[in-house]
Amino acid sequence: MSANEKSNGTPPPLPSPRALSTAAEARVPPRAKNAAAPASKRKARAAPQKLSHSDEPRTAHAGTSLPHILLIHCGGTFGMDTVSSFDASGTLRRGGNYKTGLRPGPLLANILDNFPELRSLATFQVNVPLNLDSSRLGPPHWIKLAKLLDRNRDNFDGFVIIHGTDTMSYTASALSLMLAGFRKPVVFTGSQIPMAMPRSDARQNLVDAVTVACADQLQEFALCFGGTLLRANRALKTKSSAYRAFSSPTYPPLATLGVDIEWDFSALWKDPGVYRPRIKLERNVVRIPVVPGLRPQIGYGDLVARGVRGAVIEAFGVGNLPDQKSAGWMDWFKDQREKGLELYLASQCLTGPLNPALYRSGSTAMKFGATTTRRMTAETAVVKMMLCLAYTDLHLSYPLAGEL
């Protein structure tokens, strides 16, 4: 990162396509750079199932021995049509749906024409199950994506999911937990600038995502953005407009992508367990920040009466919250737990240990039935609670996919 980028957060101009193509070739893992292993050593691939989009997906380089990647486009900034997305004054049009003409065939041709270096990395099929602003995505869409991945697990060597940045960490966390034990690389990416606009980061992010999705080292859900590969359920969007928009405060990057790919092999998930897809989610889960001076009876009220099943309480520090009678928190905890609300204590801090038992306020909350674990991101805690409420054999403290 340049001194200018460190000082003001402004990313430098992207390298030229020629430089990017050269860098991409340098990054290609042995299997992708030198083509695949001999056919006798590669696992036989079942005939691909027909994908769910109304248009039949098109395949690039059919019949080659390169890794076979399913490219899933969910919408977001990456593929925005800059002509139809802006009015005559250059103002972004409002609304969450993008141009309906974005279909698998044209999208694949457009990507391969704009990013020809991808042809040397893998063969592709494209599916567009969603084409939405990511702020509109939620549990029903995560379930749809989980089903798509599950039924195509044996048909592809890896998966790349193009997704809007605003809720990418939620979707990535949800799928990593719902499909724990998947044992295939599933890499999320996107961009801060549409691929058709100058200085777009779409090219580098997609080339990087495909490169790591072709690597034998990766056998988990990950998020590749701004030259960094992060575990999917540890990633957070921490910058709204910088190219390196995501970070992982509680876990080291899986890899750093520069001229070379520097893998941290000690960080890779090595115990995926038995694959057991869990497709159901209980969507009525909320995040509740503890605000000084705000009584929860006034700010949040009777959540159970309104149909809420679980709440992630974002406490202070290691898990503290006001415990004096006048604050109302302990009475509220007791009342809501007796009515059946699941409560999980998280922290408003991005890093550091989570240990509510260290102080009286946190330990009192635990006595009233709140639970906690080793630190999870708030996004991951929310989606894991959704999963645990749908599957009673699971517990928040049970590790599924490296989230703890």
Q: Which residues are catalytic?
A: 77, 165
DSSP-based three-state secondary structure for 126: strand
What is the rounded distance in angstroms from the CA atom of residue 218 to the CA atom of residue 231? 10
Is 166 assigned to a binding site?
Answer: yes
Strands 158-162 and 68-73: parallel
What is the rounded distance in angstroms from the CA atom of residue 289 to the CA atom of residue 130? 31
What is the rounded distance in angstroms from the CA atom of residue 367 to the CA atom of residue 356? 11
Please name every residue paired with 310 in a beta bridge, in sequence order, or none if there are none. Answer: 285, 342
Which bin fits 380, alpha (ψ -120 to 50), beta or left (φ > 0)? alpha
For residue 166, what are the CA distances in angstroms to 9, 12, 134, 231, 240?
18, 22, 6, 17, 9
For 108, the token pair is 């694949």
Residue type, 204: Q
- Give 356's Cβ-side CA count (13 Å radius): 29
- Give 280's Cβ-side CA count (13 Å radius): 7
Is 134 assigned to a binding site?
Answer: yes
Pick from 166, 171, 176, 149: which is nearest to 76 by CA? Answer: 166
What is the rounded distance in angstroms from the CA atom of residue 305 to the CA atom of residue 332? 13
Query: What DSSP character marks residue 257?
Result: E
Residues 6+ apart with CB under 8 A from 110: none
Query: What DSSP character marks residue 391?
Result: -
What is the rounded distance in angstroms from the CA atom of residue 7 to the CA atom of residue 292? 33
Is 165 assigned to a binding site?
Answer: yes
Binding residue numbers: 134, 165-166
Binding residue numbers for substrate: 134, 165-166
